[in-house]
Structure 1
Amino acid sequence: MRKKHNTIIIFLILIFCFLGFMGAAAYMKFKSAETNITSEYIEADNEIDEEKSAVKNLDDITEVIEEPRISTINLLAVGDIMFHSPQYKAAFNKETLSYDFTSTFRHIKKYVEKANIALGNFETVTAGEEIPFSGFPRFNTPKESLLALKETGFDILATANNHCLDHGKTGLIRTIDNINEYGMKNIGTYKEPNNNILIEEIENIRIGFLSYTYGLNGMDSTLTGEELSYMVNRIDEEKIKGDIEKVRSSDIDLIVVFIHWGNEYQREPSSYQIELGEKMVEWGANIILGSHPHVIQRSQIINKDGKDNFIIYSMGNFLSNQRKETMDNSYTEDGVMINLEIEKDFSCQQTVIKNIQYIPTWVYKYRENNKLFFEILPIDDYINGELNVSIVDSLKGRLKKSYDDTMSKMSEN
């Protein structure tokens, strides 16, 4: 009986051992599965972290390879702005005893004020009303002419021309002061030494402006030798070359030279104009704007070091009383506005002339209600019916001829 009892106890012990072993095995299997699951979660988390890191790195790369920054501005230039006696007399208001020239520019104002910089050749002086107002040969114009130019949108006026000393030192200085009074700047004539370079910065594009004239109509004697050396920029190749080099050393993107040169009423540039123009490009000028001939001369593109540079030898008369009736020369009625699109790519620090637009103009002189008017017409706008201007049939042919003559010269480059 005792033996049987012992057998039962041993059997129970074996059962408990077996159950313990099976429990331990199940526990180990469970822990192994838990470990595997945890490992999978860790691996998944690591993959997510790696993806996040990759996205972050991609963002960094995107920031590095963002679109290059580019600035674009427009520079608009016009030729000779002259005020002969019929023009300032037409601008006089007998009731207010004042002058108003604004209507002359009303049709081209939208082009001028749209430009970032607009400039032209102011071929007269504003010496003051105590000196009688006069036209050719010694100009003196009411300073309200400058107010009209300012209100039209002009920023810079070239004053180095053969009429800048028509009333001597006084006329030259007063003209500069009046230009400044109306918030504009001038180039080519100066009141003080070492002031002959104008630098303008627009949209982070730095442009240097220079201006020179071939002569002074024999009025050089109204200044002393010392005054003449700095008050008027005359064409001197060594001086021009030195000025261009000086501008180039001033962290400049572009150099503009406004130059009064050539032969009056000749529709082809002289050999000297061509020679000097090419020299100035070689020295570092990028845009050369010609005035003085009073008729339009051709333009030219010169490529230097892979970069296009622009010359127009004469932009004609933007405004004057010169015309077929007064000069027996219809070409003196013609002008052209040059709109230059300038682009700077900051990724490579390159500034180029991106586009050139030619806008032919014509000076319309007419009488209405016994009053004389002068208006500058953008010819293309008239042809397209965008101008509310009534022109007699006898003049419409001249308007179309003016457009064709101008554009034929511009296509010669």
Structure 2
Amino acid sequence: MILALALALSGPAGADTVRLVVVGDIMLDDGPGRLISRGGDPLAAFAPLLQDADYTIGNLECPVATQGRPLDSKIYSFRASPRVLPLLKGRFDALAVANNHSGDYGQAAFLETLDHLAGQGIAAFGGGRNLHEAHRPLWIDRRGLRIAMLGYNEFKPRSFEAGAQWPGVAWSEDSQVVADIRAARAAGADLVIPFMHWGWEREGQPSERQRQLARTMIDAGADLVIGGHPHVTQGAEYYRGKLIVYSLGNFVFDGFEAPAERTGWLLRLTLDKDGVVAWETRAARMDQDGSPQPQPGVLTPCGKSGEATIQECVNP
């Protein structure tokens, strides 16, 4: 059964737990880019929530570069100016680059993006200078808890995929994903969390492919699965007591008119060595510039599987 996510503001994480905040697609070209060029800040309204965490992660849905040219094969190609970087610094500890827009301006722009993020002290994962780097986990060490985040894309074009000797993103090949999860566990991860770029755009429910892959990853040892890409939220469910959040939707993105496409989730997780202790969301409604605005309301946060009723988890 798919559950809608709850939203809440709770107290700080305990001494033996870690608070992780994750948001969906961050696209800083077009409307958000024009706002930044005017001196605006599309992340301002959410800054307190982004900073109220031990570690904050988002999906960077565009290269940040000055070089390259858009691919002829794509309808939409994005490239943000490096002027956006100071707005990301201090708000995000890491950004996933495993998506279908990281390679919009070619390999040189992708590599420039990695360099810019590193220069701001922001880790990039789900992509790299070669296949090995692209599949390397993002290691999060906080309060004695060691978390491995893995990022994958499975939405075309596959030409963005990294190779043995060329840069790109980690492609979601089932056998490789399973191997990466097992390798992270063997390397000492207390928790393994895949962050997926998957599903069909504008579909409010996960596809059978998403459900199948989520279960495959949990069977392989993942403790939690988080997804994005469809431009809408897709609810959540438990499998074998493990939480699956299928899509966080958009976070910073313009060009959408339907309310569902202009609404995303900030997901906040409280984690310990056994997995998810509690989870909650804050709804984000994008304005005409593509900037997220927090929506009011506080509901009961959801706990581990079976600890909250469906009614308590419903976000009206």
Q: Does 1:360 align with 2:283?
A: yes
Shift of 1:224: 8.4
Q: Does 1:121 align with 2:59?
A: yes
SS at structure 2 position matched to 1:78: strand
Contact 1:168 1:219 in 2 (8 A): no
The runs of 4+ residues in structure 1 deviating greater than 3 Å are 129-132, 223-228
Give the letter aligned to residue 145 of structure 1: V
CA distance in 1, matches of 2:173, 2:147: 22
CA distance in 2, matches of 1:219, 1:185: 23
Structure 2 counterpart of 1:279: 216
Give the letter aligned to residue 272 of structure 2: E
CA distance in 2, matches of 1:260, 1:122: 11
SS at structure 2 position matched to 1:115: coil
CA distance in 2, matches of 1:141, 1:70: 39
Match of 1:249 among 173, 181, 186: 186
Shift of 1:352: 2.6
Structure 2 counterpart of 1:76: 21
CA distance in 2, matches of 1:154, 1:283: 29
CA distance in 2, matches of 1:233, 1:87: 27
1:316-343 residue CA offsets vs partner (Å, 9 max, x unmatched)? 101111322xxxx221100001100112
Structure 2 counterpart of 1:7: none
Structure 2 counterpart of 1:40: none
Structure 2 counterpart of 1:171: 109
- TM-score when scaled to structure 1? 0.64
Structure 1 counterpart of 2:33: 88
The 3 A distance-change label for structure 1 pair 411 and 301 is farther
The 3 A distance-change label for structure 1 pair 90 and 231 is closer
CA distance in 1, matches of 2:88, 2:239: 31
1:233-272 residue CA offsets vs partner (Å, 9 max, x unmatched)? 1010010000001000012111111110000000010000
SS at structure 2 position matched to 1:104: coil
CA distance in 2, matches of 1:90, 1:136: 23
Q: Does 1:290 align with 2:227?
A: yes
Give the letter aligned to residue 169 of structure 1: Q
Match of 1:375 among 283, 291, 309: 291
CA distance in 1, matches of 2:290, 2:61: 17
- Larger of the two Rg values belongs to structure: 1
Contact 1:198 1:208 in 2 (8 A): yes
Give the letter aligned to residue 292 of structure 2: I
Match of 1:201 among 103, 122, 141: 141
CA distance in 1, matches of 2:214, 2:36: 37
CA distance in 2, matches of 1:247, 1:144: 35
Contact 2:140 2:146 in 1 (8 A): yes
CA distance in 1, matches of 2:59, 2:162: 25
SS at structure 1 position matched to 2:128: coil
Structure 2 counterpart of 1:104: 42
Shift of 1:380: 1.4
CA distance in 1, matches of 2:232, 2:162: 33
Shift of 1:312: 0.8
Contact 1:84 1:136 in 2 (8 A): no
Structure 1 counterpart of 2:4: none
Q: How many residues align?
A: 286
1:369-392 residue CA offsets vs partner (Å, 9 max, x unmatched)? xxxx553111016x9xxxxxxxxx
Contact 2:100 2:157 in 1 (8 A): yes
1:88-145 residue CA offsets vs partner (Å, 9 max, x unmatched)? 123214xxxxxx45x211111111111111111100001216869xx96111101232
SS at structure 2 position matched to 1:211: strand
Structure 2 residue runs of 5 or longer lacking an equivalent are 1-13, 299-309
CA distance in 2, matches of 1:321, 1:224: 28
Contact 1:83 1:321 in 2 (8 A): no
The 3 A distance-change label for structure 1 pair 89 and 252 is same
Give the letter aligned to residue 139 of structure 2: I
Report matched runs for 1:2-401 at 5 Å.
71-93=16-38, 100=39, 103-128=41-66, 137-151=76-90, 153-195=91-133, 196-217=136-157, 219-220=159-160, 226-227=164-165, 231-303=168-240, 308-324=241-257, 329-344=258-273, 351-365=274-288, 373-380=289-296
Between the two structures, name the one with larger relative contact order (CA 8 Å, sep ≥ 6).
2
Give the letter aligned to residue 204 of structure 1: G
> Which structure has more helix as a fraction of its residues?
1
CA distance in 2, matches of 1:284, 1:130: 39
CA distance in 2, matches of 1:147, 1:136: 29
CA distance in 1, matches of 2:145, 2:268: 17
Contact 1:119 1:158 in 2 (8 A): yes
Contact 2:32 2:254 in 1 (8 A): yes
Give the letter aligned to residue 78 of structure 2: F
Contact 1:165 1:216 in 2 (8 A): no
CA distance in 1, matches of 2:210, 2:290: 31
Structure 1 residue runs of 5 or longer lacking an equivalent are 1-68, 94-99, 345-350, 366-372, 384-406
1:165-186 residue CA offsets vs partner (Å, 9 max, x unmatched)? 1111101111111111111101
CA distance in 2, matches of 1:375, 1:282: 37
